[in-house]
Amino acid sequence: MANSCEHCLFISNAASKLSGTQIERLSSNCASITLKRGDLLMQQGALSSNIAYLKTGLAKIHITGPYHEQIIKLIKAPTYLGIPNTFGDKINNYSVTVVEPSSVCFIDLDTFKYLLAQNDKFAYEIMLILCNYEIESFKKCALRTQKQIRGNIADVLLDLSKRIYDSPTFNLPLSRNEIGNLIDTSRESVSRIFSEFENDGIISVAGKKIDILDMIKLQLISDNG
């Protein structure tokens, strides 16, 4: 049975700019699979021959640093992954691992490039995505290094609550150690700050389950570093 991108429930802004023929071509050069927590979607150092489109789910972009693994960011569907890898040297410059059950389409690179060349509106949308990535990473870079751990943990909790789950209650998709890798700190410090926040009545923690009790105070901690 042929894949149909045209009727995909999670079609991207970019793909919805494609013509009938173009989207047909996409459909026949695009394979959809489902992945579970821990599955590697893209391996740093490997040769990339596909663009990935995360249709549903949650993933982390991470790279191997000199001393430990560094999580660059959490990626929520829907989004394209690995576009920068496929231009230039075609070696993946980072790994992507699924942290919650996800469905992903792999799009043949040549097809993707063909579509970019054929349809300038499609290309424009992709460019928009790339631009936003850059702006985002500039900001994050500056904020993360100028705040103390309390501020960074507050940021992570707010991000999970607002951007990822849109709810004051959620299950942490990352271990304490991973949260540490995301904000450049140790797992012990993450634990300690969680306890601190709990004692201050800002959050309630039960294993992976987080409940933000005082959003205002959490926001203050985030703002004041």
Partner DNA sequence: ATAATTTTGTGATATGGATCACATTTTATA
Partner DNA sequence: TATAAAATGTGATCCATATCACAAAATTAT
Binding site for a copy of itself (CB under 8 A): 61, 63, 65-68, 70, 72, 83-85, 87-88, 93-94, 113, 116-118, 120, 123-124, 126-128, 130-135, 137-147, 184, 223, 225
DSSP letter at 171 equals E
The site map against DNA for 137-156 (x = CB under 7 A) is -----------xxx------
* H helix runs in the chain, sequence order: 20-27, 83-86, 109-118, 120-146, 149-159, 176-183, 187-199, 215-223
139 phi and psi angles, rounded to 5 deg? -60, -50
Nearer to DNA, 32 or 148 (CB): 148
User: Residue 3 in contact with residue 31, Cβ under 8 Å?
Assistant: yes
- SS3 assignment, position 207: coil
CB of 35 to DNA, least distance (A): 15
Q: Which residues lie closer than 8 Å to 83 by C-beta, 6 or more apart? A: 51, 126, 129, 130
The whole-angstrom separation of Cα 36 and Cα 58 is 10
The whole-angstrom separation of Cα 198 and Cα 218 is 11
CB of 66 to DNA, least distance (A): 12
Nearer to a copy of itself, 138 or 169 (CB): 138
User: Residue 204 in contact with residue 210, Cβ under 8 Å?
Assistant: yes
The whole-angstrom separation of Cα 72 and Cα 182 is 6
Nearer to DNA, 93 or 186 (CB): 186
Q: What does 43 bind: DNA, a copy of itself, none (CB cut-off 5 to 8 Å by kind)? A: none
CB of 117 to a copy of itself, least distance (A): 4
The site map against DNA for 169-188 (x = CB under 7 A) is ------xxx------xxxxx
Residue 205 engages DNA in binding (rule: CB under 7 A): yes
What is the residue type of 213? Answer: L
Nearer to a copy of itself, 88 or 207 (CB): 88
Q: How many residues bind DNA (CB under 7 A)?
A: 20
Nearer to a copy of itself, 44 or 103 (CB): 44
β-pairing, 79-81 with 40-42?
A: unpaired
Q: What does 182 bind: DNA, a copy of itself, none (CB cut-off 5 to 8 Å by kind)? A: none
CB of 27 to a copy of itself, least distance (A): 22
**Contacting residues toward DNA, per CB under 7 A:** 148-150, 175-177, 184-192, 194-195, 205, 207-208
